Amino acid sequence: MLTTRLSAIRLLKKLYLSHPEAIGLVRENLGSSDPTVRRQAITVLYGLILDESFEYREKVCDNRTIEYLIYGLFESIESPECASSQEMVYRKVALKFINQLNSPLNFSDSQTQTSDSKFMYACIQHGIIDFFIEYDRVAQNHPVLPTLDDLTNQMSPYFLSCYSKVLVAALVDNEKCKLNLVPWHELPGEAWRRARLLALGSCNLGYLTCTHK
């Protein structure tokens, strides 16, 4: 069973980039209104980029594909079923994927950092920070959906690590590129503070100051 699965993944990796129809189908599914379809599309991409070089990841997860991924995240939070278990699982899988897309993040090596950041640039350009803000806005007025702060409290250490790395890397690159896509003060203060403190354990972000109280 495992051998069959590995063979299928190798075949996918070999054929995916040469089949525009496959790329188009995955992109379409990333933005589907069905959370299960979205999650399955991300799982396909996750299998493709796992243990692969940054060059290969960049080809598989180009800006257009990332755009569909971000669209799917907004579809999830703006859905009437945003608090369903299917949507919550989807969002965890999406964060795990984005974290894998950008790992390893080596902030001590400027050359590696420049290469590693390419993928997060795409995420920023298509709204990953905006998604966190929109999530918090929707959650504040939702009877069931946990707020961004509550979400981090409920996450397992693994997913909390994914969340913090994604948020911090996005903010760092936003500052470095002077994109100024969203005002920093709009980010939830406690969630940002917790994410930054977690990231400081493995990243040198001393030059980045936090304005939240």
Task: Please write the tens of the pLDDT for every residue from 18-71.
Answer: 888 889 999 999 999 999 999 999 999 998 888 787 778 888 888 889 889 999
pLDDT (tens digit per residue) in 143-185: 888 777 776 666 666 666 667 677 777 766 666 666 555 555 5
Does the pLDDT at position 74 exceed 60?
A: yes
Q: What is the mean pLDDT of the chain?
A: 73
Q: How far apart are CA 162 and CA 124, in angstroms?
A: 16
Task: Select from 170, 162, 87, 72 the least CA-distant residue to 121.
Answer: 170
Take residue 52 and report the two structure tokens written for it: 């692969």
Considering 27-41, 92-106, 191-205, the range whose residues carry the highest mean pLDDT is 27-41
The mean per-residue pLDDT over the stretch 61-90 comes to 91
* pTM for this model (two decimals): 0.74
Q: Burial letters for 4-35: b for 16+ Cβ neighbours within 10 Å, e otherwise?
A: eeeeeeeeebeebeeeeeebeebbebbbbeeb
Asked if residue 123 lies in contact with residue 137, where contact means CB atoms within 8 angstroms, the answer is no
Q: How far apart are CA 123 and CA 57, in angstroms?
A: 13
Give the domain ranges of the chain. 2-200
